[in-house]
Amino acid sequence: MSDRFAAQILIGGNLHKKKVPDFLKALEADGVRYEWGEHYVRSEEGEQALAAAEYGRENGTKVLRFCDEEASCGEFEKVEEFCEKNKLSFDRNSEAYCSYDAETVSFRPGHRECRFSDQNGNPLVPVSAITSAFGKDCKKAEKMPKDNLVKTLKKLCGLDVPELPEFKIV
């Protein structure tokens, strides 16, 4: 039996209408919920399940949001696999638990990135990554052109990952 702890996933991109039943089966298989402690998504709910999961972001785009306080290893294995196979973008945040660090996984078609985060999904950058990029005493940072410095900092923090696109059924 795997460890179970809290995670949430935001999903964006274009889902072909004929793939909706398979997507719903993946959601049901992973036991995702609409909100913490609410009922599980059921595949027989059809497209209404996706409408119920719509989540408006600060930038005005609508994405899908699912969560589970007891996700297996803090992941949504079937949902993430489906998204990657069908080129749906996602951001998954998993809370820390016992020997597991909190993490954020971002997938955009062709690129998957995992980074440490706090319990709220804010990026944490290991000192080793900073010293690797800027030198042990950070002297390299002082000599870097501003554009390169900003680009390196964004990459270290995961801020170079494009925003999630709006979720649409096409």
pLDDT digits (tens, 9 = 90+) for 78-93: 999 999 999 999 998 8
Q: What is the pLDDT of residues 41-95, one digit of tens each?
A: 888 888 888 887 877 776 778 899 999 888 887 789 999 999 999 999 999 888 7
Question: Contact, 95 vs 5, CB < 8 A?
Answer: yes
Q: What is the pLDDT of residue 89?
A: 95
Q: How confident is the model at residue 22 (pLDDT cuts 50, 70, 90)?
A: very high
Instruction: Classify residue 117 by burial, with Cβ atoms within 10 Å: 0-12, 13-18, 19+.
Output: buried
How long, in residues, is the chain? 170
More confident residue, 23 or 49: 23
CA distances to 22, 34, 94 from 10, rounded to whole Å, are 18, 11, 12
Residue 111, pLDDT > 80, answer yes
